[in-house]
Structure 1
Amino acid sequence: MATVEIPRQLADFTVLSRLGVGGNGTFYVATPPPRLGLATDRVVVKVFGGLCSDDAYRRGVRELRAFAAVRSPYLAALYDAVLQGQFMYAMEYFPLGSLGEPSRPLSRTERLAALADAARGVDALHEAGIAHANITPSSVMVTDGGGRISDLGLARVLATDEPITSFAQPGAVQYMDPALLAGDAPSRATDIWSLGACLHRALTGAGVYGQIPDAQPLLAIRAALSTPPALSENLAPDERAVVANCLALTGQRPGTAIEVAERIDALIGR
């Protein structure tokens, strides 16, 4: 297996290690520069793949500023955005990782508590008029006793003129509302669908579309559009009710993400 080369510097961030790949970019743990005046000595830098134009950079920064302006304890902190050929931004570091890649095995209670808190963060975005548009297990960060939502769906913002197949990533189709795949704009309802799909994964370890060709986005999208979501037989009745409600037709879903959070809390007696 080829060794992945890790850059020593990303702008004026000193890279310590590579976390992984996801959401159209590569994540690194880095030491922040003194100019940011941060109290922490660790941040995560996400570097988007491909070159980024000045216009795309301005769009990305505008979206990040809107995200950062929303005040909620359930949103990951954003620190900086940089353009050096590629678009990159720095955010809060979570030692426990995400639901997609936790640093250690998580209990059912930990998984659901993280997702419930992430739903609260999503609700705060919605109340500010922002749709997240990229809710996957990898964007649900795990904290002691709960979680936060991160990784705003900037891929769509940076590539406004590109078809969805250009930024749909392996595995992400499992968490995208079919309406999004068909071309609808991200919304409160599409984010609630994604929360339901993440809940299904957190409870069962499986996606709602079963085995689809995730490595080929176009084929995965076609499979998702032609295959109704199927719920696992391993779900308890109360779990099934919450997931099914989130995946229902638009207009029949929970009205807010905070309602989803409260129903997930109820599953763990929180």
Structure 2
Amino acid sequence: MDRVGDYVFLRELGRGEHSHVYLARTPRRLGIATDAVAVKVLSLPGTDGFDAVVDDLTLFAGLGSPHLLPLYDVGTDAGVVFYAMRYQPLGSLSAPAQELTRREQLRAVAAAARGAHELHEAGLAHRGIGPANVLLDRAGAVLAEPAVGHLLTHGHTLSGLGPRAQAGGLELVDPLLMQGRPAGRASDIWSLGVTLHLVLTGHGLFPALVSADPFTAVRIYLRSHPEPGEDLTDGERAVVVTAVHPDPARRYRTAGDLADAVEDVARRPGG
């Protein structure tokens, strides 16, 4: 694929289970002062849920928050859904362009939590928070667009979890979602807590999942409890433990509260 709509691709930036992301020339019609944008092309069957995708992404873009990735355009071409957003050359928390200090890592997660809080206040759950969706810039970080694949697949994915269950990202999904709870503040707060732990320690909260196949991993996951790493400060550990508490009522009340806690840790000596 070398283009979609009027976006001419310059190179591939990355790919997921159901998407490809490309660097593309900015169409003049967008009226923005940048030579290139990032374009995500969803490789999902059909466009039956396109209107719902547009609704979610329009709401996201309309918030105009400094903590959320600017989104410029959404459309369909040859049976696929695509959308254009600001290109973030400094990478993400999963693949930063340069090594980050611990304080920078903490502040990036706090910024993502601020973005999640603004989404929640607007009535939208993100559903896809993880290190790869916390994008870095010179001001700190922004949270990428919410997950929309579930709107197009009508549930035809593993346990309704899609690529996360198959690509080592299972623990980013709140176990309560697998038990039929709807996505919302509490599930995104869980994802933020796991993200913080992954970024600070380099490993997950559920060691037994590392070598398990996807279906076995789900069974293990639902029977296990988070195991925070030893290489966390007391403050960092307290944030993670609260964010991933099995009882959602005992997690942070809002993602904004989680952001406050992470920023407090970042201000401490050694943070």
TM-score, normalised with respect to structure 2: 0.91
Q: CA deviation at 1:219?
A: 3.3
Distance of 2:61 and 2:143 partners within structure 1: 12
Q: CA deviation at 1:213?
A: 5.3
Q: CA deviation at 1:23?
A: 6.3
Q: Name structure 1 gaps, 5 residues minimum.
A: 1-6
Indicate yes or no: 2:119 matched with 1:125: yes
Q: Secondary structure at the match of 2:256?
A: helix
Cα root mean square deviation, aligned = 1.8
Contact 2:43-2:80 at 8 Å conserved across structures: yes
Q: Secondary structure at the match of 2:38?
A: strand
Which residue pairs with 1:175 in the alignment? 172
Distance of 2:116 and 2:134 partners within structure 1: 10
Pairing partner for 2:184 from 180, 187, 194: 187
> What is the letter of the counterpart of residue 251 of structure 1?
A
Q: Secondary structure at the match of 1:154?
A: coil
Which residue pairs with 2:63 in the alignment? 70
Indicate yes or no: 2:150 matched with 1:156: yes
Which residue pairs with 1:254 in the alignment? 252
Q: Secondary structure at the match of 2:20?
A: strand
Q: CA deviation at 1:13?
A: 0.7
Pairing partner for 2:194 from 197, 205, 210: 197
Q: Secondary structure at the match of 2:248?
A: coil
Which residue pairs with 1:92 in the alignment? 86
> What is the letter of the counterpart of residue 172 of structure 1?
G
Which runs of structure 1 show a deviation greater than 4 angstroms over 4 or more consecutive aligned residues?
Answer: 213-216
> What is the letter of the counterpart of residue 79 of structure 1?
Y
Indicate yes or no: 2:225 matched with 1:210: no
- When residues 128 and 201 of structure 1 are mapped into structure 2, their CA distance, relative to the original with a 3 A threshold, is same
* Residues 33-112 of structure 1: pairs in structure 2 closer than 5 A: 33-53=27-47, 55-84=48-77, 85-112=79-106
- When residues 24 and 219 of structure 1 are mapped into structure 2, their CA distance, relative to the original with a 3 A threshold, is farther
Contact 1:131-1:186 at 8 Å conserved across structures: yes
Q: CA deviation at 1:168?
A: 3.2
Which residue pairs with 2:265 in the alignment? 267
Deviations 1:244-264 (A, max 9, x none): 000112100111111111111
- When residues 50 and 260 of structure 1 are mapped into structure 2, their CA distance, relative to the original with a 3 A threshold, is same
> What is the letter of the counterpart of residue 250 of structure 1?
P
Which residue pairs with 2:23 in the alignment? 29
> What is the letter of the counterpart of residue 163 of structure 2?
A
Which residue pairs with 1:4 in the alignment? none
Contact 1:164-1:181 at 8 Å conserved across structures: no
Indicate yes or no: 2:115 matched with 1:115: no
Contact 1:246-1:253 at 8 Å conserved across structures: yes
Contact 2:44-2:153 at 8 Å conserved across structures: no
Contact 2:18-2:44 at 8 Å conserved across structures: no
TM-score, normalised with respect to structure 1: 0.91
> What is the letter of the counterpart of residue 227 of structure 2?
A
Contact 1:188-1:256 at 8 Å conserved across structures: yes
Pairing partner for 1:241 from 227, 238, 249: 238
Q: Secondary structure at the match of 2:49?
A: helix
Distance of 1:69 and 1:214 partners within structure 2: 42
Q: Name structure 2 gaps, 5 residues minimum.
A: none
Contact 2:44-2:149 at 8 Å conserved across structures: no
* Residues 7-26 of structure 1: pairs in structure 2 closer than 5 A: 7-22=1-16, 24-26=18-20
Distance of 2:186 and 2:96 partners within structure 1: 27
- When residues 94 and 58 of structure 1 are mapped into structure 2, their CA distance, relative to the original with a 3 A threshold, is same
